Amino acid sequence: MQKQPDKITVQGTLEKALEKLNIYSEVLHAGRTDRGVHALNQVISFKTPSFWNKEKLLKELNKILHPNIHIKKIYNVNDNFNPRFDAKKRSYRYILNPDFTPFNADYTTYYPNKTDLKLIKRALKLLEGQHDFEYFAKTGSNVNNYIRTIYKTNAYTYKNLTIIKIEGNGFLRGQIRIIVDFILKINESQLSIEDLKKQLSKEKLISKHLAPPNGLYLERIWY
């Protein structure tokens, strides 16, 4: 998501599209996604001259951004609105696919192992509530504290896919991907529920690997 020098990013692409319409504004976003991660409902904000009609702006921007980015709606908001800091909660989904094809390789994570939904749900349930997630954050995360609240978790199947959902008040860098990797190691009996309890209580750092980015989606943000 975040703009980087000499690299194609969502923020950078959006700002270039705005410039083509003579709108020169920094694009603020609700959350940074890693390379390869997707967003179904990312929220951004930018400033426009007052003469722009929302419907016309939406149409013109989507012409420029097609096919990689699509803007669903444009709203008028207060000048002090911040899509990141005004967010109340967010949800992510992670999609596991037992069948590999090149056509969905960028949009799901290939996972041929059988999934034990009962076990996965039990492990996810332990993460609910307020915890210090320092051992579930990327090394070098620049934050004031690692305390976050997870409101709800779930795992279910849809057709041939297994979907893991996590909803919380905010997430640390890499947190979802580290959690998913840990949960899948429990599913494969490489790690245990007790290992998860130890890492969650910061008794012991056991595993901090990242699940692949391509199965992860920023799903929804509440304000």
Q: What is the pLDDT of residues 196-216, one digit of tens each?
A: 999 999 999 999 999 999 999
Give the right CATH number for 1-86 from 3.10.290.10, 3.30.70.580, 3.20.20.70, 3.40.50.300: 3.30.70.580
Res 144: pLDDT: 87
Tell me how far apart the alpha carbons of residues 90 and 134 are, in angstroms, rounded to a whole number.
19
Question: Across all residues in the chain, what is the average pLDDT?
Answer: 96
144 vs 125, residue with greater confidence: 125
| Burial zone of 222 (CB within 10 Å; 0-12 exposed, 13-18 middle, 19+ buried) | exposed
Q: Is 195 a catalytic residue?
A: no
Res 88: pLDDT: 96
Q: Give the pLDDT band of residue 182 (cuts 50, 70, 90).
A: very high
Span 89-222: which CATH code?
Answer: 3.30.70.660
pLDDT at 194 over 80: yes
Catalytic residue among 6, 34, 79, 132: 34
Residues of the chain within CATH 3.30.70.660 domain(s) are 89-222
CA 107, 90, 211 angle in degrees (round to 5)?
40
Model pTM?
Answer: 0.92
SS (HEC) of 26-85: CCEECCCCCCCCEECCCCEECCCCCCCCHHHHHHHHHHHHCCCCCCCCCCCCCCCCCCCC
Residues of the chain within CATH 3.30.70.580 domain(s) are 1-86
Residues belonging to the chain: 223
139 vs 21, residue with greater confidence: 21
